[in-house]
Structure 1
Amino acid sequence: MKKLGMALVGLGWLLVASPPVFATSESGQSQSSISSSTTNTSQTSKELPANTTTTAPQSQRKTVTSSQVAKETNASHPYFTITKKEQPVWEDLASAAVTTTTPHYNQTFQVLSKILTTDGTEYYKLKGQTIFYVRTLSGRLSDSPFGIPTSQVQYVSVKTTSNTYWQDINLQVAQNSATLKKRTWQSRNLYRHVNGENYLDLYNGQGKFIGYIKSADTTTTTIFGLAEKQQKYVTVTKANYPLFQSLTANSTLTTKKYDKQTFLVKELYHHVDGNDYYSLYQTKNGKHVRIGFANIKAFTTAPGPQGIYQSFSKYVTITNKNYQIHQNFAWRYRNKTKNVYGKTYRARGLYRHANGATYYTLYDQKGKWQGYLNSAAVKVAPGAQGIYQKWGKTVILTNKNQPLWQNFQWKKKNTSQNLMGNLYIARGYYQHANGSRYLTLYNKAGKWQGYINAGATKQATSKAAKLKKVQQLLNKKYKNKNVGIHVMSLTDGSTAQINGNKNFHAASTGKLPVLYYTQKQINAKKINPYKKYRYTDAINKMSLSYMRGGAGILQSKRYGNYYSIDTIMNWTCKYSDNQGANFLGYYGANKYDQKMKNEISRIIGRKWSRFSIINAKENSQLLKAMYFEGGKVLTYLSHTTYDQQRLPKYLPVRVAHKIGDLGGYAHDCGIVYTKEPYVISVMTQGTGYEVISKISKDVYQIMK
């Protein structure tokens, strides 16, 4: 025991002979520099409460003489971590304690020995920069040079200047820390190593231990990690990823809210769970406003603020005149919507721009690209026909060969030939992507007729007012039971009549059915008008043949000669040729077959089986059908040997007409070519030609 005491005295002498270096604290007090060589004083000062001190209280400044040392032994563990503050520290047990453990709180030191005094007090002899003593109750022993860990759950990122981390407590198995950079790690404990360095343990987001690293090589951050600056655009392409509105808030939204939208990315975060997250910004009123953070797996990187190309493949109709169509997303001008207003294009794809707008990439029906256009300037259409656009105009049909469609899959509903000569209301239209406009037609009763190409129509006004005046004229001057009159506007079908339904012997007006049907067959290319056919007496033996002889010149020709349909049609019109009508009936109307009879029945609205009986209204309907069928027959009817009498006599305009005479019957039915043509049919018995001429003149004065 005396030897141990002498050793302590000798040790004390050595300590006194080599006095410690003192540093001056901020309070002006002296502080012993007995800690490990790399103690972070700024970190230590942060740990000191306001009421703590680094100077040992007077009551603790006891000394230990050699006679008081009962035993000095090796400690049970090689390392000791100071875990209590304000405990006395002795540089020499033979001298009074002058400092406390506070500056060395949680630091680890090598244990040289354990000293037991006679009063039962235990001390550890510790090695730092110098040798010093503390009571055993000032801390805890450890087998590890890392000492006793301080529980300190935090998230850290590894600095770019770091090179090494370790996977063992002896710091023997060094690893290259490059693999840890640009990631975020969880640290659960802080270790103050006996070598004076502070170390953190690192875990990944799944709780797997990674290793130890100097705390100086890390930066404290959040669970998302440090912000890495970015300047790029991304588009949301996966809808079910969490969207965090801040780095500390829980997710209450998902990327579904912003599916297919484009955002500016300003920062990239490496979350502790191993995933990377973008900070997302929208452009609002010219400013970038952050809307949250989401996993980068929810996005596709875009070539610019326009976002990624997204397939669309729908038709759109331009409905706003005040937008530009762009050549590119640098906003180079290509066109203006006012130049293509109302047109329909195919939007093959779209871009959801970071400015919040959607831009369509437009193509015409031929596949020619038109440019990029803001979706606010268009409406999406149900198909290539475009959107329905209100119109409400009155039109007439001008082309008899146009189909009326049931739908825009081009199912046929009717043909324009069956609707000619009436006014229709085009309540609206569709501007089709094929470049055509299609009107949706309704008749006067409000019944829908179908869709028709606008090129087969023209705007018109009702002629009802004029026909009302004609009716007043007829009522006043031409009420006569032996006169049948029917007047019809070819613009809108308005009519006036006196005895229009009274039947008369048709005489040569009965040739109108065969003239109409032959021209129809020519127009349909069912017969060749210039092919020559043999003139035989067989044409006079049909049940509906005119008598041999009578008007015309064909009867003077020899049987066996050949004539074209066109020639005979001209003679039948010009000379009212009876034999010519029979020739047309035989070759042009296929001997008045049932198909021909059905067509005439459709036009006049009753079963037609013979030409001898007709009324003024029915002749008007036949002439209306001939007008809209068109063809050379109308030219031939405009140049007859009867143009100086009856209907044309007092008129200064062209009249295509067909006269009829038989006994006391005298008729004339024709098309009067005023600016807006009309049909007039006058059938008389016992009145003469001049009455017909005067009626025609009076009606013309109103209709011209």
Structure 2
Amino acid sequence: MKKYLWGSIIFFACLFLGGTVSANAEAQMYRLYNSNSGEHFYTKDPGERNYLITSGWDSEGIGWIAPDNGEPVYRVYNANAGDHHYTMNLSERDYLISVGWKNEGTGWFSDEDKRTPIYRAYNPNAKAGSHNYSAHSSEQQGLISAGWQDEQIGWYAVAAGGNYSAAEKIAQINALSQRYSNRNVNIYYEGLVDNNAGTAGINPDRQIFAASVAKLPIAAYVQDRINRQLLAPSAELLYLNSANYVNEATSTGGTGSIQFETNFWNKHYTVDDLMRRLFVNSDNLASNQLLAQICYNNMEDFQRYINNVYGVSQYSRMMTAREAGKLMAAIHRQNGIANQVMSETDWKNDKIGALPVKVDHKVGMANRYNHDAAVVYGSQPFILVVLGTDISNQEITKIAQGIYQIVQS
């Protein structure tokens, strides 16, 4: 999107949230980034922040903590360039207003005790985002090294930015998910630790054909029987062609490695081998053997298990993102075969797997369907499921990157 359109989003966001900005309480100053224009934006208003995230801006956490009183920092807006400027200098503000910038009032205050400097740098080659403001001297020095001009200190803060609360993270993830309100995309997020606890997303309870993500209930139940010592990983199953024709079996073509082996229809396979192939290669034939010979051969117990884990009474390849998320959480807790291989599959660097931390995930693809269900590790682990129609791998990665950035803030 062109820069002036992104600027219009900011302008209308201000109108939507009540016109000029006021500053009457100590505030976390949220920092956002527009990758299309290169502009950083700063606001104390969580509603404005969430509106911009919905519109495509990236959350970059809390820039600094502003005091509840002090000298005002003024905010002005250039509709032609789609750019904001922030200054304590009345003369600078008035000059910009005189040449067409819109006065947006007082954005926040500068700390009179001058506890934390906010550094200002200028890029003379940028049409939007020409100024950067940071509480971190290392960022300032990095910009100067890259050719930005050092404009010293713009104002002062009480402190540099801290971490978002769990509630703020959930609000931002919901806002990010709203970008896909007009798409056939289902997103489910669940935090796994206290400071990112809660669930978020969009259309988490809308059913969709889950493709190979529907192999998760099979794997989870097989591992459950192993954990209850009702099944040994070394147990051997004779390959049965009839397994490929049971209810809800996957197609005999598609992904997998068994189908390319010589005389596979006469072989025995261990449960451990079939489980590993199910995840590493998303092997359809391996999944069908486990479904028919273990799940369906213990139907009453299988139905009990899936009902307890994700609330369904009958196995189906139609699933919701929340159901896939509950299954990923269950597999995460099992600490079994899946946990040994889910980060090293044939798709380990695709979709959610492109994140810069360990990711255990199960992908699914079929015609227009494109899915991923994951446990994302790092300092703030979480569950993320994206089930969609006509969505690319790159879009799934972008969703994951946006949510990861919010969670780590």
Match of 1:586 in 2: 292
Letter in 2 for 1:647: I
Structure 1 counterpart of 2:373, from 663, 666, 669: 669
Q: Distance in 1 between matches of 2:209 and 2:253?
A: 19
Of the structure 1 ranges 506-515 and 596-605, higher mean CA displacement relative to structure 2 is found in 596-605
Percent identical among aligned pairs is 29
Which residue is 1:545 aligned to? 249
Distance 2:322 2:182 in 1: 16
TM-score by length of 2: 0.56
Does structure 2 retain, via aligned residues, the 8 Å contact 1:544–1:592?
Answer: no
For the structure 1 residues 555 and 591, does the alpha-carbon distance in structure 2 shift closer, same or farther, using more than 3 Å as the test?
Answer: farther
1:195-206 matches, cutoff 5 A: none
- Quote how far apart the aligned CAs of 1:530 are: 1.2
Counterpart position of 2:353? 648
What is the one-letter code of the residue matched to 2:361? H
| Among 202, 212, 231, the residue aligned to 1:498 | 202
Name the one with the larger helix percent: 2
Q: What is residue 466 of structure 1 aligned with on the other side?
A: 169
Which runs of 5 or more structure 1 residues have no equivalent in the other structure?
Answer: 1-460
**1:398-437 Cα shifts (integer Å, max 9, x gaps):** xxxxxxxxxxxxxxxxxxxxxxxxxxxxxxxxxxxxxxxx
Between 1:537-546 and 1:621-630, the stretch displaced more is 537-546
CA contact (8 A) 2:188 2:199 kept: yes
| 2:243 counterpart SS class | helix
Alignment of 1:109-128 (within 5 A): none
CA distance in 2, matches of 1:556, 1:614: 29
1:615 to 314, 320, 339: 320
Deviation at 1:479, TM superposition (A): 2.4
**What whole-Å deviation, never above 9, does each CA across 1:482-512 have from its counterpart, x for those lacking one?**
1110100122550111111111111110000
Give the AA of the match of 2:358: R
- Give, in angstroms, the shift of residue 549 of structure 1: 1.7
TM-score of the aligned structures, taking structure 1 as reference length: 0.33
Report deviation, 1:624: 1.0
Find the residue that maps to 1:683 and give its secondary structure: strand
- The 3-state SS of whatever aligns with 1:510 is helix
| C-alpha contact (below 8 Å) 2:181/2:202 kept by paired residues | yes
What amino acid is aligned across from residue 633 of structure 1 in structure 2? A
Contact 2:248 2:317 in 1 (8 A): no
Whether contact under 8 Å (2:275, 2:338) holds in the other structure is yes
SS of the aligned residue for 1:591 comes to: helix
CA contact (8 A) 2:375 2:381 kept: yes
Contact 1:511–1:611 (CA<8 Å) still a contact in 2?
no
- What is residue 393 of structure 2 aligned with on the other side? 689
What secondary structure is seen at the aligned counterpart in 1 of 2:256? coil
Task: Work out whether 1:484 is the aligned partner of 2:186.
Answer: yes
Inter-partner Cα distance in structure 2 for 1:638 and 1:579:
21
Partner of residue 569, structure 1: 275
Are the counterparts in 2 of residues 565 and 588 from structure 1 also a CA contact under 8 Å?
Answer: no
The farther-off stretch of 520-529 and 595-604 is: 595-604
Cα distance in 1, alignment partners of residues 293 and 380 from structure 2: 35
Deviation of 1:628 (Å): 1.4
The match for 2:139 is none
Which amino acid is 2:242 matched to?
A
1:515 is the counterpart of 2:203: no
Tell me, in whole angstroms, the C-alpha distance in 2 between the residues paired with 1:685 and 1:533.
Answer: 35
Shift of 1:592: 5.9
What SS does the corresponding residue of 1:617 show, helix, strand or coil?
A: helix
Higher strand share: 1
**Looking at both structures, which has the greater relative contact order when contacts are Cα pairs under 8 Å and sequence separation is at least 6?**
2
Q: Does 1:636 align with 2:338?
A: no
For the Cα contact (< 8 Å) 1:464–1:495, is it kept in 2?
Answer: no
Deviation at 1:585, TM superposition (A): 1.5
1:488–1:496 contact (8 Å) kept in structure 2: yes
Other-structure match for 2:330: 625
Of the three residues 294, 308, 316, the one matched with 1:602 is 308
Q: CA deviation at 1:515?
A: 0.7
CA deviation string 1:616-667 (max 9, x = no partner) = 1111111111111221212211110011211112x11111111111110100
Counting only pairs closer than 5 Å after superposition, residues 243-642 of structure 1 correspond to structure 2 as 463-475=166-178, 477-492=179-194, 493-557=197-261, 558-591=264-297, 593-607=299-313, 609-642=314-347
- Distance in 1 (alpha carbons) for counterparts of 2:349 and 2:307: 32
| Bigger CA radius of gyration | 1
Contact 2:306 2:315 in 1 (8 A): no
Q: CA deviation at 1:542?
A: 2.0
Which residue of the partner structure matches residue 402 of structure 2? Answer: 698
Q: How many residues align?
A: 241
Question: Aligned partners of 2:344, 2:381: CA distance in 1, in Å?
Answer: 17
Query: Pairwise mapping of residues 132-151 of structure 1 onto structure 2 (< 5 A)?
Result: none
| Aligned positions of 1:39-188 closer than 5 A | none
**Aligned-pair Cα RMSD in Å:** 1.8
Partner letter of residue 392 of structure 2? G
